[in-house]
Each structure stands twice: as structure tokens, then as C-alpha cells.
Structure 1
């Protein structure tokens, strides 16, 4: 007997817009992205959340806002 658990996380970019400020690593322009993530178990949606993430457009590093 074999049990297979199928868990999956799907992330989609909803929107992108320029954010104020500059990258602390290279001084490039910062971009804010709204990302919707959804956890699924056996193709049934369990959890859904929308987050805002900040990225540098030049060096592509993820930035943390404090």
C-alpha cells in the first residue's frame, strides 16, 4: 500500500509598480510586487494569502522593509 500526499504552492504576480527609495546593495530602482500564494492539497485549495514583496530591478535581490 502506498500513500502519496500531493501538496503544492502556487504563486502568481498580481501587479508591479515602482516603489520609492533605492537598493541598499547597488543603488538601483526598487519595484513593489503584489504576489498571491495559494496552498493546495490534492488539488483542493487550503490557504490563500496576498503579500507585497520588494525587489531591486538592477541586481534582482529581494529587499526587506523595516
Structure 2
């Protein structure tokens, strides 16, 4: 008996913009992005999450966490 669990997360970037500040890791410029995510189970969409704002470093491509 074999159980195979196939799950995937797909991300679509809706918009990007230049954000103020610099990366704490490397000092590169910060880019803000609106991202829409969709979870898939065996290529069938299961869950859509709405827009989420994320901030990325343009040089090292790490996610930058903001504290509000």
C-alpha cells in the first residue's frame, strides 16, 4: 500500500513597487509586491488566498519582515 500526497502552492505577482528602506542583511533596495496564492492538490485548486503584501530584497531576494 502506497499513499502519495501531491500538494503545490502557486504564487502570482499582481503588482510591484519600490519601497523605502534597505535590506538589513545585505543593504540592497527593497521591492514591495502584491502576491496572490493558490493551493493545489493533484492539480485541482483547493484554496485561494487573497492579496498579500510582501517585501523582498532586490539583491539577495530574501523576504523582509516588517513590524507594525
The reply to whether TM is greater than 0.5 is: yes
User: Which consecutive unaligned segments of at least 5 residues does structure 2 have?
Assistant: none
Structure 2 CA distance for partners of 1:31 and 1:43, relative to 1, 3 Å: same
CA RMSD, 1 decimal:
1.9
How far does the alpha carbon of each residue in 1:24-65 deviate from its partner, in whole angstroms, 9 at most, with x for none?
122221001111111123444221112111111122221111
Counterpart for residue 21 of structure 1:
21
Q: How many residues align?
A: 66
Gap change, CA 1:4 and 1:17, over 3 Å in 2? same
In the superposition, the TM-score normalised over structure 1's length comes to: 0.75
Aligned twin of 1:64? 65
Match of 2:53 in 1: 52
